[in-house]
Structure 1
Amino acid sequence: MQVGIDRIGFYTPNKYVDMTELAQARGDDPNKYLIGIGQSQMSLADQTQDAVSMGINATLRYANQVDMKTVDLLIMGTESGVDQSKSASLFVKSALKLSPEVRTFEIKEACFGMTAGMMIACDYVRLHPQRSAIVIGSDLARYGLGTSGEVTQGAGSVSVLIKANPGILTIGADHSAYSSDINDFWRPNDSPVALVDGKYSTEVYLDFFKRTFADYQGQTQKQTSDFAALIYHLPFTKMGYKANRLAVDQQDTAIVQRLEQSFTASAVYSREVGNIYTASLYLSLLSLLENGQLKADNLVGLFSYGSGAMGEFYAGQVVAGYTDHLNPEKDLALLQRRQKVSVAEYEHLFNEALRQPEDNVELVSDEEEGYWYFAGCKDHVRQYKQK
């Protein structure tokens, strides 16, 4: 029996900032952002979009295509939680009208949270092959206006359905994990934005990739040449590019070309959306599936990294007919529906979203009909509505 991803849904808010315009406003050469960082656009969440609403919207992309009555488990990985105690996944479960018997919880370990949920969900389905699980990664990446990390912000969510005999990607049981208590990135309780040592974080990311990739190869006897694609957590696309260069070092020309082409395909969506923390690796996967040239049984390696720090490498195999379970036209339309905002508008919306809305004041969304949004708090209880 094989277990893995049967459906995948994606959501990003309806506004974006152009990186050329942001660079000019900050007095930087645009190529520093476009080439040096590898970002073209950055999705922006206003006050009405948070981790919960984005997670709902991502899951609704496939909810009507599957039997939701088989779902026993709902896990949400996020570092943008909306409550210090209550799981964000409970709000999502309510909106999706899932059974009260569904087990649900939230996982936090920086950008590793969704991968932790994936491992738990796959193990659960291996033990309960007639059941399925939903795993969501949903985050708002915020470092602050004018900071060194500003260009690596973003907003979005990816949701996957895990089941036996999946339609998209089977996930192997082999994996390599590595963790260490370090301070490359963190967000104190009293800060609405993250703190990061960018250079150090890049060094740790690359070190963790080398360690886990080498260990996985040692465990499985897989060679770099066995992979049709290697994909990465992408806080910004140049980070993954650097890891990929390490992976293809000393490989022959054909292997280098194949893995560089697949990496380019995996970075298409991240280049336009920006950093979405826990979901970034899985946005890379979706981008590869919809923009790459994969065949049945191709082996795809996945590197997950969460600052602080936790890294893991694992692999999956592409399922024959996987394209029947995707909708690239709708994903493209989701990106194209976004409206560009000026840098001044972006700064206003960014600052507004950092503030807690006044209690008992309803928020109004400018999203399209059908999307869910955060409608404010009523008697200090968060309210979510569908447009």
Structure 2
Amino acid sequence: MILIYEYMANGTLAEHLYKINKGNGHYLTWEQRLNICIGAANGLNYLHTNTEQSVIHRDVKTTNILLDKNWAAKISDFGLSKMDSTSHTQSHVSTDVKGMFGYLDPEYFLTRRLTKKSDAYTFGVVLFEVLCAKLPVDISVEEEQRSLALWAQHCIKKGTVDQIIDPSLRGQISPYCLKMFTDFANKCLHNHPKGRPTIAEVVGSLEGMLASQGNIPRRKGIITKMFLIISNVVAKGFDLRWRMGKGLGSKSGQPWQVQRDPFAVGAIQLYRHLSLEEIRAATNNFHKRLIGHGAYTVVHRGRMGNLDVAIKRWKEGAYEWNLEQIRSEIQVQSQLRHLHIVSFIGYYNDKYEVILVYQYMVNGSLYDYLYETDKDPLPWEKPLEICIGVARGLQYLNAGTKQAFIHCNLKPTNILLDENLRT
């Protein structure tokens, strides 16, 4: 039997991490590496969620990530792949242990229970390979450094991870991005599968890291790259700040107002600094419906005055090292007033956490209507109207504000719909 595949002009990711000194590789910049990781993660996410029966790859490694002529990453080698036959009563596939040492999920190795989170573990090893350009297992070094996964985790605990990154990357990675990357890769290596992110969460986090690289200070004239998270969406949002006054006034009777705030650096912002009591009341002490979650946040539905709101709360421990990202989100959204941009209501912060409040979009995302089977199909004119609304929102961001913004993360999950299915 002979199998024929698309030819990948730039070979494997491993070649460009390990064979540089032999003249067989190409030095990859940090931005190139992030884009390759995002491409590979998107491929895995497709296997896990977008096929008729989801697939667990079981052999994710840098030699199985191929690069085309444009350096786009593609997953290869499905010889060890397993169809995911899990159900509500069984959360794993029982199978003989296969894969390469250095990448193997320890839970799978010990119990023979294979899950999609096994791919998340192996991808965590790949992330550290990309950062460090070190083999997953190297018997030529000191014993404590032979396992890349264990050595990287040790360095994270000791605060010395900056000493093991690939020397060719020095000066290319912002401290904030390095912190995000290593913490998230470490989370992929969690001993228990439930402690690991899904591959979809990996994609979202890597995209945020790539966007954060654009926030490194540069010469004046470079367009600001912001909108780092899902809630910075192109979506329906009447300018509630101008018309809600009494309905969302604070307990002291203060209406919406222009005010200075620790998060507002060098600019006047329009928003409300909410109290924790107001947010607890809106969510019944965070017991109201949980409507979403990400790697670092959970989102609750709540009600303030006559308005349904979406309340995004940063998870414990995620606030401090995401501070610049949160600051960007608040500063950008609080300046935007447009029919097709989600309305930023306000926020609460203290030394332990930050909570952001937005208008709630009752019909969810465009993605739901395109891919979820329990939704009625949209008539043709409705998607066209949605696209027009999105285009108008983007036009406003790019050309209708005092400082132009690039969204950086436009996709169906970030296009929200109101009660009338308008963006």
> Fold-level match, TM-score > 0.5?
no
* Greater Cα radius of gyration, structure 1 or 2: 2
Relative CO higher for 1 or 2, CA cutoff 8 Å, sep ≥ 6? 1
Scaled by the length of structure 1, what TM-score is found? 0.26
